[in-house]
Amino acid sequence: MRNVIAALDIALLVALLVVLLITLFMRSHDNRKYDFDERQKLARGKAYRNALFTLVGYLLITAIFDSMTGVQWSDYFTEVSIGMCLSVDVFTIQCIFSDACVSLKEKPGINIAFFSLMSLISFTNALQGCLNGYGSSQGGKINYNSIGFITAIAFAVNVLAMIVKQILDSRTRAE
Amino acid sequence: MKNLKLKSARAALDLSQQELADAVGVSRQTINAIEKGNYNPTIRLCVAICKAVGKTLDELFWQE
């Protein structure tokens, strides 16, 4: 069983590397510009600022909560990782809803497929860990084995936001 | 405030938002935001739009 899981892990890693290499190759042989217009750049700047404030606020609130109550609900690595996922989600969701997530020449469908794939990979990886005996919590605390599930949720939220945006966008497309 | 002048100038040329956006090098949503009054474009983009629809800055962006 362990050999099968190890083989699956290696296969996932190889698949990721292949996708990465193909993407890099395609971009280097593509004359299209992957840039954003002035409104998109402005929107991305605002989203970036909000993501930063979200991360700072999250870290501050969790630090105050931990020190005041003495309740340690998670290990530090996982706690910070949740904050990072949260702030990245704030950035992407704000970009998605202000039409600043994809550049001028990109198609949203590719991003939806990519985020779905990443969510699936994270989820299967975390599930494999669970089946292999690495639980997501220990002694009432969430541990780093849960990060796969957390990133899977973060990517899934992005996919959902993109789909909702596509539906909303189809109404204005006809104008 | 909605920019109806831009919308009517675009419609007069039978251009879609996407076609105008491609002509000036911005996203369709940016043109939509300008027409709806949700975004104030820079002078550079205003000039590009004016050239694309064959109007002057006053005709498209001057508010009475």
Number of domains in chain B: 1
Q: How many CB atoms lie within 10 A of CB A172?
A: 13
CATH code (residue B12): 1.10.260.40
Residue A6's pLDDT band, with cuts at 50, 70 and 90, is low
Residues of B in contact with A169 (CB under 8 A): 29
* Residue among A38, A39, A165 with most chain B CBs within 10 A, to mutate: A39
ipTM: 0.86
Residues of B in contact with A37 (CB under 8 A): 25-27, 30, 45
Question: Which H or E element spans position A2?
Answer: helix A2-28
Stated pTM of the model: 0.80
State mean pLDDT over A144-161.
91
Q: CB within 8 A of A68, min separation 6: which ones? A: none
Best CA proximity match to A96, nearest among A174, A44, A29: A44
Q: Tell me: the pLDDT tens digits for A36-77?
A: 899 999 999 999 999 999 999 999 999 999 889 888 888 888
Q: Tell me: the pLDDT tens digits for A96-144?
A: 999 888 887 777 888 888 889 889 988 888 888 888 777 777 777 888 8
How many Å apart are CA A149 and CA A136, to the nearest integer? 9
Find the domain containing B30 and state its range: 4-61
